[in-house]
Amino acid sequence: MGMSSRKLLAVALLLLTTLIMLSGCAPSLRKIGEINLRNIQRIHIGDLRPDVVKRMGSTTVIAKHGQEVPSPYRTMTFDNAEGDPTEILYYFTGTTHVGSERDHTIIREELTPIILEWGVVIGIGWNYLREHLDMYRAGLLE
C-alpha cells in the first residue's frame, strides 16, 4: 500500500509540474490571430451579435511579452447615414507588418471588422467596409 501512495504522489507531482509549465506558455500574437481568423470564417451574414461574441470570445488574452489582445480588440457604435444603429467589432486576425511580433504593436490592417446593424451581421471585412464607405463615413471618422 505504501508503494501505491508513492506512485500517486509521483503522478500528482508530475501533473502539477506539467500544469505549471503549461500555464507559463502564453500564445504568440500570430497564434491568437490564427484562432480569431478561423473563428471569423464561421461567422455569417445574418448572425446575431450574441452569437458572434460567443464564437469570438469576450476576454482579453495576454500574449507573449505581455501584449494584451482584447476580444473584440476595438468597437465603434454610431448611427449610419440612414439612421440605423450600427456597430463595428474589430478583431485581431494576424500579424501583417514586419516586426509586429518584435515590437508588440497591432495596426489597423491586422484587424478584421464585423459590421452589424440592429445587432445583426450585415458585412465582414475591409472590402465590405470600403464598398459601403459612404454609409459608414460618419462613424469611421474619429
Dist. CA 136–CA 36, nearest whole Å: 24
* Whether the predicted pLDDT of 140 surpasses 80: no
pLDDT tens digits along 83-111:
899 999 999 998 665 555 556 678 888 99
Burial (CB < 10 A; 0-12, 13-18, 19+), residue 66, is: exposed
Buried b (16+ CB within 10 A) or exposed e, 9-48: eeeeeeeeeeeeeeeeeeeebeebbebbeebbeebeeebe
Q: Could you tell me which residues come within 8 angstroms of residue 78 by beta carbon, excluding any fewer than 6 positions away?
A: 86, 136, 138, 139
pLDDT tens digits along 64-90:
778 889 999 999 998 888 889 999 999
pTM: 0.74
pLDDT tens digits along 15-61:
434 433 444 578 888 889 999 999 999 999 999 999 999 999 988 88
